[in-house]
Structure 1
């Protein structure tokens, strides 16, 4: 695959800078929206439960090789699952020691973090993570009722209380520096302001809202009757007969965040969209045209594309490569990576001609899929994204106009 093949345009190759390691393939929760266990791709069933140290060593060596080859000053390693803490304290300690030792020789700066459901967080785990300088992000969907609607144990027991206990420990002054933030999957059944404020109760340094995964064949909740837009760009405001429930939800949460008298927390989605409408960079997988730079290593050492592709079809995330026989640079040549690094050239015509494309970027790659036209479509969230971006743009420019029109206070004449 060359840089000029179909869908890639003349985009240069962008090396991987984020390496997501599936250190454990099982989970202690059974979240009904999970793309790993309840989606089309069921490859987790044939993989080992935990990543062996041999695979960790080989993956680390491949990361070091990639960093040297592309002269990367820093890389990010993300421990993921399933639930990564299920690997256990002893194995996780050995795994992190191997990563540190193998990557130290590369001369590249390594930033390591973990995405966890928070259930198993305790003093011993946090002490271990301190020792290896691993940041922790936790999944939390808002209030107890909101969280427990989907994020339950296999037997149906709610999990919010256990997660809250882990978060309180993570928020202790001894461990607070490990706290990366909260990941919240949006649910239209939950009040957006209540959800945001419930997240604030844990004083997260950052919040990231995620749209539920869906495709044109299997639309997300609330968009079951949505059809692919015609071959013309949306005006920036959704048609009156096209509901935009996700834009309304995000707009209400954005207004609550934006109107706060002081910065309460950072919200990644909101900040990225604000940057985009002001003409700046948009560096997130769900928005903007920044080339993808993340690769997944499964517990068996196979290299895969983004996890979200598991909702598309069996085998959709596969690259055909593994860390024993292939370099990460070889994985850069796959059609999926080339398309996702090709900016405008990788988008459907309706997206390329849209006034909002620099901010929207066509939406998350997975959300564009349709069986008849592959990924050459706008996002199934197209109208919601357009309406939300337009809302943010309106709020920002109204605020800027207000600031410009308000005369500065005159200095006091009093001594």
Structure 2
């Protein structure tokens, strides 16, 4: 295979979510891939074939060279990526690394796993390829085991903790992070304390459910904000700078005058490009694609990265990501939230596309209000926060009439919640 030379004189980065396994050894009730009416996985191979891996390696290496990407971050997802087996995973990483042989420093690997299949063989391979690890865990057993069960209906918390302990025993893997799905019936503080105090984890993120306006139950929408606020307050009370919570860091950076957030998990935005590669090599740039005809999208075997980035599909996502929904035009939090607070899927509806506020809009507003009030209490000037909030940096999506929307200029009051 031809190796690629990646230009290093710019800041373009490429994040590639690779669905190495389109099956899972556990059966989470909230899983959007298997248990929310989605059946697309049935038409795809359970494990990404070697031929697709070879095509993916060519696609990424040559594509990175063509666009001048300085960093290529391959994140193995599923299903459960460890179902591919440690030996095959080793081969996959070898194929990808060979494709970038002249620029291996730009290539990084990560994996999101349920950690129930961790073994000595897996640890050896993960160490070999310096794979960053994120573990899916929703808190203590009484929370986690409600939704994250095995195929026999048994809770998986004990197996997950065992996998975490095994990986923490490896110096190379000891910095693993955790991802918890937000559940409005649970206490964010209890989850935070379990992950940090109980398991010794230091890198955390919390994911709002991947629902759209078409699928979300708005009658039961309350409680998400309480969870996020509890996590924030537990983090602030702990006062440990070594503990990082992604959504907290992003909110603080925005409110304290940092750059507006880039919704980098779901879209192409600026110079951070995010792709999703299914087990058959199909390409996506957003999970909202679910349910659309597969033929409408490209495959790593028959297109280039540049060609894919030039498609109407990607252009629509890029445009939506750079504009806030019409309804958000007068919202003082818009520069930070960008209409979705990081998940474009939460803006989507079949009727209006991405021209909707997040389904969690009211809850996100409450969270921002509490964080802003906390900053003021800690000595940050209210005027500097309001200046950041009101900076007219984002455009507005066209209204239903086709006329461009306009940013509001209303001030923002900061009130503790």
Q: TM-score by structure 2 length?
A: 0.82
The alignment yields a C-alpha RMSD, in angstroms, of 2.5
1:99 match = 96
1:237 match = none
Query: Do the aligned partners of 1:303 and 1:318 also contact (CA within 8 Å) in 2?
Result: no
Spell out, residue by residue over 1:91-141, the C-alpha distance to the aligned partner (whole angstroms, 9 max, x if none). 111111111111224566111101100000121101111111111111000
Spell out, residue by residue over 1:136-164, the C-alpha distance to the aligned partner (whole angstroms, 9 max, x if none). 11100001010000000122011000000
Q: Does 1:347 align with 2:324?
A: yes
Q: Using the alignment, how far apart are the partners of 1:98 and 1:286 within structure 2?
A: 25
1:410 match = none
Residue 25 of structure 1: how far off its partner (Å): 0.7
Query: Do the aligned partners of 2:268 and 2:285 also contact (CA within 8 Å) in 1?
Result: no
2:306 match = 329
**Candidates 192, 196, 216, aligned match of 2:192:** 196
Q: Secondary structure at the match of 2:180?
A: strand
Q: Secondary structure at the match of 1:17?
A: strand
Please give the residue correspondences for 1:3-402 in structure 2 after superposition, counting only pairs within 5 Å: 17-106=14-103, 109-177=106-174, 179-200=175-196, 201-220=198-217, 223-224=218-219, 244-263=222-241, 265-281=243-259, 282-285=261-264, 291=270, 293-307=273-287, 309=288, 313-315=290-292, 320-342=297-319, 346-363=323-340, 364-401=343-380
Spell out, residue by residue over 1:270-319, the C-alpha distance to the aligned partner (whole angstroms, 9 max, x if none). 00111111121224447999546211111111112333x26xx5127875
Q: Using the alignment, how far apart are the partners of 2:214 and 2:49 within structure 1?
A: 37
Structure 2 CA distance for partners of 1:318 and 1:138, relative to 1, 3 Å: farther
Structure 2 CA distance for partners of 1:295 and 1:345, relative to 1, 3 Å: closer
Q: Using the alignment, how far apart are the partners of 1:151 and 1:255 within structure 2?
A: 26
Structure 2 CA distance for partners of 1:104 and 1:359, relative to 1, 3 Å: same
Unaligned runs of 5+ residues in structure 2 are 1-10, 382-417
Aligned residues, how many? 366
Query: Do the aligned partners of 1:64 and 1:106 also contact (CA within 8 Å) in 2?
Result: no
Structure 2 CA distance for partners of 1:23 and 1:48, relative to 1, 3 Å: same
Query: Do the aligned partners of 1:21 and 1:78 also contact (CA within 8 Å) in 2?
Result: yes
Residue 328 of structure 1: how far off its partner (Å): 1.6
Structure 2 CA distance for partners of 1:245 and 1:327, relative to 1, 3 Å: same
Q: Using the alignment, how far apart are the partners of 2:181 and 2:70 within structure 1?
A: 32
Q: Using the alignment, how far apart are the partners of 2:356 and 2:169 within structure 1?
A: 46
Structure 2 CA distance for partners of 1:264 and 1:299, relative to 1, 3 Å: same
Query: Do the aligned partners of 1:43 and 1:315 also contact (CA within 8 Å) in 2?
Result: no
Residue 53 of structure 1: how far off its partner (Å): 1.7
Q: Secondary structure at the match of 1:272?
A: helix
State the structure with bigger RCO (CA 8 A, min sep 6), 1 or 2: 1
Q: Using the alignment, how far apart are the partners of 2:321 and 2:88 within structure 1?
A: 43
Spell out, residue by residue over 1:226-277, the C-alpha distance to the aligned partner (whole angstroms, 9 max, x if none). 7xxxxxxxxxxxxxxxxx4211221121011012143351000100111111
Structure 2 CA distance for partners of 1:250 and 1:367, relative to 1, 3 Å: same
Residue 366 of structure 1: how far off its partner (Å): 0.8
Q: Using the alignment, how far apart are the partners of 1:398 and 1:65 within structure 2?
A: 51
Q: Using the alignment, how far apart are the partners of 2:76 and 2:128 within structure 1?
A: 15
Query: Do the aligned partners of 1:287 and 1:361 also contact (CA within 8 Å) in 2?
Result: no
Query: Do the aligned partners of 1:184 and 1:208 also contact (CA within 8 Å) in 2?
Result: yes
Query: Do the aligned partners of 1:67 and 1:106 also contact (CA within 8 Å) in 2?
Result: no
Q: Using the alignment, how far apart are the partners of 1:251 and 1:98 within structure 2?
A: 44
